[in-house]
Chains A and B, each alone.
Chain A
Amino acid sequence: MAIKWTLLGLLMYAAMGLYLLAAAALLARARKPGWGLFGAGFVAAVAAFVWRWLEAGHAPLQNLFEVFLGLGMLAFPISVFCRRALGTADEAADAILGVLVLFPAGFVFSVAPQPLPPALQSPLFVPHVAAYMLAYFILAKAAVPAARRLFSGRIAESGKPCATAGLVRPCDTLTDNISDDAAAYRLVSFGFPLLTLGLVLGAWWGKMAWGDYWNWDPKELWSLAAWLVYLLYFHVRYRFGPTHPRLTAAFVLVGLATIVLTLLWVNLARLFAGLHSYAS
């Protein structure tokens, strides 16, 4: 773990600090300053991403450092969009998620930019990685209401007051009109098509680059496992949702675990060396 004393590093730390302050303000119900700080953190994260882009000379989505840097940039726009379009809340949790994804970029992963190897020089590179990044952040966000549903035992019915919102979810007149189960469902429904798009674009790219759309590579298999877990979530929710709401919530958390493994462990562990090794 090392501190990056560069402009890029300082921008990342600024974004992390602002996100933390935003989370604190939002938890303290200081919504206006909270959103302002969240937006300022977003500006710092975008500046870091753009700086890295200029420094690397290509879209900075090549390795874990760059992917986590990009994920940190998504916290604010996804939070705003989900609140407005889906009626979900948890902005403080979104800001904390932003810090969590920026932390490895800021302190753990290597920062040296590398030129793109031939296999990554494809028009599918950016859409494939971007679709996965968006999906991963949204599905990680879905785990917050799912975890609350699984562990708190509270069901916020439509129109009823939110009595035990807890730390990560200040009560709110608009968003508390939906239950945690509905919030998780809406978020998974929003993220799943992007997860599917990432998988399909990856398969298409594999066909263009390696000759086969499916190579049984460890990363491919973990991605498939994650996709299947969310597929199971939809089927289980359809079949058992009303009677077993905690079971469906558990699937969202298992999905998050497979995403973390797909993103981190597969790239870091030599155990899973394969065609995606350049991503580490």
Chain B
Amino acid sequence: MGRARQILMDLVPAAIGPLAVLSVVGAFLGAERAGALFRSLPLTVYWFLLAGLLLAGLIAFGVLRRSPGLAAMHAGALLVLAGAMWGSEAAHALRAAWLGDAKVPSGYMILDRGDLSDTVLDDSLRRVRGTLPFRIGLGDFRVEYYESNEPWWLAMEQAASKECSPGRILLRTVEWTEGKAVQVEGTALWLRVFRYLPRARPLRNERGEVIAAEPAPDGRTPAIEVEVTLEGRTQRGWIMPEEGGAYGSLSLAPLAGPPPTMPPGAALRLYLLRPTPMPKDYLSDLVIVEDGKPVARKTVEVNDPLHWAGYHIYQHAYDDAADGRRRTILSVVSDSGWSWGRWPGLVPLGFLLLATGTFWRFWAESMGTMRTARSHHGD
């Protein structure tokens, strides 16, 4: 091995080792600070040096070019680095300054049904980061949930608490077992569940009040019969939410007796709550509008973004406004480095070469060599 190549070879651990250590350091910092660290000026210099080292290795070591696996691995790593640099925020800023290509690197859009917008916001969702060369309209946004057979939760409303902001109530869930009396944590109340009906039909008195419930196979609402005891006084009743409702409740005011105040720490109301359903998917029906005309439509969902005119548009999150409106939040990412029009860009090509190269080198070439060696040994 020549002196220059030996030095080059010695530089490899000197380059990879610190990156491994920095990766561990970055893991302790969290994604945001780690991202800032790896995009900092010293690390930017490091990325260029690493790319240079890979290139020098490919030039200096004939074996890296002769072995298809090794060539693909090293070229793949080089392409990933080059693509990452090309798609970076700094590269976007440089192209905007030098070439007038004012492409937004990334950002967010927040849309209500019927909105049409080309404005990309920053992380705060308040400041404008740039505009797209087309507009995006939202037809509909919906959240799909998994069906759940989980029993509904029992929860006690707690007496006024400093932990609770005005206009909200503090609930404490109560663990219950049918037929067993349990003391409600933090209170002098005892609770016994007599019956829980997962599907029930209400039985009402002449005033329309629920006085009991009975099992109903076609019912869509549960019902629970409870007995609450406080200092010798007992209240028994049914809790059943309205059809389609998320909760039902039972006032415990009669327990207090005269004067009508609850003792400190006691509960005011007992709730039967629907467990928070597990989201199955988030879907936004989008339309792309150019020059006032719709040119593309797609339902964007998690794992299925829309690619249009140099941007990827992702389903990112949603926002429940105070007035009950639910707006979708889309993430908009420049495709620089990842795509060239319809074709894969530097990064996916690099990943492809890297993955196929490792398999070629270590499975095909190495194992082939091993088999040959074993056959020579007569194994």
Whether A174 contacts B27 by the Cβ 8 Å rule is no
Is A218 among interface residues, defined by CB-CB distance under 8 A?
yes
Whether B146 contacts A222 by the Cβ 8 Å rule is no
Q: Report chain B residues within 8 Å CB of A264.
A: none
Whether B34 contacts A121 by the Cβ 8 Å rule is no
Residue of A nearest to B148 (CB): A115
Q: In chain A, residues 92-129, which have Cβ atoms closer than 8 Å to a Cβ of chain B?
A: 114-115, 117-119, 121-122
Q: Report chain A residues within 8 Å CB of B31.
A: 215-218, 274-275
Contact flag A235-B16 (CB < 8 Å), given A174-B379, A208-B303: yes
Whether B305 contacts A218 by the Cβ 8 Å rule is no
Residue of A nearest to B277 (CB): A115
SS class, residues of chain B in contact with chain A: helix
Is B13 among interface residues, defined by CB-CB distance under 8 A?
yes
A228 to B361 Cα, complex, angstroms:
17
Q: Report chain B residues within 8 Å CB of A266.
A: 27
Q: Which stretch of B112-120, B244-252, B278-286 is in the interface?
A: B278-286
Whether A189 contacts B362 by the Cβ 8 Å rule is yes
Q: Report chain B residues within 8 Å CB of A216.
A: 26, 31-32, 34-35, 38
CB distance from A22 to the nearest CB of B (A): 25
SS class, residues of chain A in contact with chain B: helix
Is A203 among interface residues, defined by CB-CB distance under 8 A?
yes
Q: Which stretch of B165-173, B195-203, B231-239, B352-360 is in the interface?
A: B352-360
B347-373 interface bits toward A, Cβ cutoff 8 Å, 1 = contact, 0 = none: 110011011001101110011001000
A274 to B301 Cα, complex, angstroms:
21
Is A272 among interface residues, defined by CB-CB distance under 8 A?
yes
A256 to B304 Cα, complex, angstroms:
35
Contact flag A221-B363 (CB < 8 Å), given A118-B301, A216-B31, A274-B31: no
Is B312 among interface residues, defined by CB-CB distance under 8 A?
yes
Q: Report chain B residues within 8 Å CB of A86.
A: 367, 370
Q: Report chain A residues within 8 Å CB of B281.
A: 118, 121
Contact flag A211-B20 (CB < 8 Å), given A196-B354, A203-B351: no
Q: Report chain A residues within 8 Å CB of B221.
A: none
Is B127 among interface residues, defined by CB-CB distance under 8 A?
no
Whether B12 contacts A211 by the Cβ 8 Å rule is no
A215 to B314 Cα, complex, angstroms:
15
**Which A residues contact B (CB, under 8 angstroms)?**
85-87, 114-115, 117-119, 121-122, 158, 174, 177, 186, 189-190, 192-193, 196-197, 200, 203-205, 207-219, 221-222, 224-225, 228-229, 231-232, 235-236, 238-239, 258, 266, 271-275
**28 A-B pairs with C-beta separation under 8 A:** A118-B281, A118-B303, A121-B302, A122-B303, A158-B377, A177-B379, A189-B362, A190-B362, A193-B358, A197-B359, A200-B355, A207-B312, A208-B304, A210-B314, A211-B312, A211-B331, A212-B333, A213-B351, A214-B84, A216-B26, A217-B31, A218-B30, A218-B31, A221-B34, A224-B23, A225-B23, A235-B12, A258-B24
**Which B residues contact A (CB, under 8 angstroms)?**
9-10, 12-13, 16-17, 19-20, 23-24, 26-28, 30-32, 34-35, 38, 84, 106, 146, 278-282, 301-305, 312, 314, 316, 331, 333, 338, 347-348, 351-352, 354-355, 358-359, 361-363, 366-367, 370, 374, 377, 379
